[in-house]
């Protein structure tokens, strides 16, 4: 475990113009972000779930570095989930870069849809009640949507001042277009939601092999500072634990698929062992659903409210 930076809310100085913004406890919506600076140039790795949170982060960055929000030249959104891009509107002048696949996904789930789900709450049944509960702290009405202004596929090399920055598309994995941000000269990488540390990874897209490959790629890099999308700053042992979880659920889900168990029965049958102590362990429901879709090979996507209902049921069962 990387212990040089305590896992407390706020800005962590990683050295040589790099910073990480951490939001414990790293559960639903409590994502991390990063700042890369060199000279008078800057790049923000992700924004936060609403503009209030993002404004607070930008204020802290200004106090620590003197960098005003209007001076941020580039934002990289590592993927399409709102807790990594819904604060984009706080920097209307910035170029916003994301993978082409992420751009497509961002148009599918706007903040207005999240606000409607949250407001409906229990009217939508257990799924709505669960949704309203986990996202209670966030103001989806306080979002000025800004979509990417530049997209890429595969690999994109950037410069922040004299600092080289590599954008590497490793998705589909967590989502359809995951990107990691590598700063080779500083031996650092910002992984987005390829890494959930001490929290349960959430596989909306898959395939699982791509995600495991992304973990392997990070482990092969010459880096010693690894900033995850959620959770504390970590090291390669932390990356390996994420890969181990993915391998475990892949093996266990495949057994139950081959035995003819339903998704729901498989979710309740898989023993999580030590992984049960990770945050939001009920995400096993989404992970099994995505794995079953992969095994079937039919591409049929389960409606999101059905997935939230199964997570709500799974969380209740785990608490009993």
pLDDT score, position 4: 78
Q: Is 123 exposed, middle or buried (0-12, 13-18, 19+ CB in 10 A)?
A: exposed
pLDDT score, position 2: 53
pLDDT score, position 142: 87
Whether the CB-CB separation of 208 and 35 falls below 8 Å is answered with: no
| Class (C level, CATH) for 10-246 | alpha beta
d(CA 246, CA 168): 21
Which segments of the chain are extended strands (E)? 10-15, 18-22, 33-38, 41-45, 74-76, 95-99, 150-152, 155-160, 163-169, 179-183, 188-190, 225-227
Which parts of the chain register pLDDT below 70?
1-3
What is the torsional sign of CA 284, 288, 290, 291?
positive
Q: Across the strands, what pairs with 95?
A: 74
Tell me the pLDDT tens digit for each residue of 47-104: 999 999 999 999 999 999 999 999 999 999 999 999 999 999 999 999 999 999 999 9
Whether the CB-CB separation of 292 and 253 falls below 8 Å is answered with: yes
Q: Across the strands, what pairs with 189?
A: 182, 226
Provide the residue ranges of all domains of the chain, joining segments of one domain with +: 10-246
d(CA 1, CA 18): 19
Q: What is the pTM of this model?
A: 0.97
**Which residue in 29, 25, 38, 167 sits closest to 96, CA to CA?**
167
């Amino acid at each position: 475990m990387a212990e040089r930076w305590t896992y407390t809310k706020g800005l962590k100085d990683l050295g040589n113009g790099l910073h990480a913004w951490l939001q414990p406890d790293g559960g639903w919506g409590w994502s991390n972000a990063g700042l890369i600076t060199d000279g008078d140039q800057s790049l923000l790795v992700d924004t936060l779930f609403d503009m209030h949170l993002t404004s607070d982060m930008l204020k802290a960055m200004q106090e620590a570095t003197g960098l005003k929000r209007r001076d941020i030249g580039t934002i990289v959104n590592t993927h399409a989930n709102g807790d990594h891009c819904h604060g984009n509107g706080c920097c209307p002048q910035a170029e916003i870069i994301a993978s082409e696949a992420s751009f497509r996904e961002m148009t599918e789930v706007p903040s207005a849809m999240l606000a409607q789900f949250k407001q409906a709450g229990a009217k939508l049944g257990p799924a709505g009640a669960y949704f309203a509960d986990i996202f209670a702290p966030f103001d989806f009405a306080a979002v000025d949507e800004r979509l990417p202004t530049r997209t890429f596929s595969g690999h994109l090399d950037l410069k922040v001042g004299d600092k080289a920055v590599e954008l590497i598309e490793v998705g589909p994995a967590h989502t359809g277009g995951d990107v990691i941000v590598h700063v080779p000269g500083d031996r650092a990488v910002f992984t987005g939601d390829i890494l959930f540390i001490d929290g349960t990874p959430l596989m909306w897209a898959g395939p699982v092999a791509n995600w495991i490959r992304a973990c392997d790629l990070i482990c092969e890099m010459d880096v010693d500072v690894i900033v995850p999308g959620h959770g504390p700053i970590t090291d390669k042992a932390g990356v390996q634990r994420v890969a181990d979880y993915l391998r475990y659920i892949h093996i266990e889900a495949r057994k139950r698929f081959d035995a003819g168990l339903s998704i729901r029965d498989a979710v309740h049958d898989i023993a999580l062992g030590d992984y049960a102590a990770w945050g939001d362990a009920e995400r096993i429901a989404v992970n099994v659903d995505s794995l079953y879709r992969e095994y079937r090979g039919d591409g049929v996507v389960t409606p999101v409210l059905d997935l939230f209902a199964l997570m709500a049921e799974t969380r209740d069962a785990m608490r009993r």
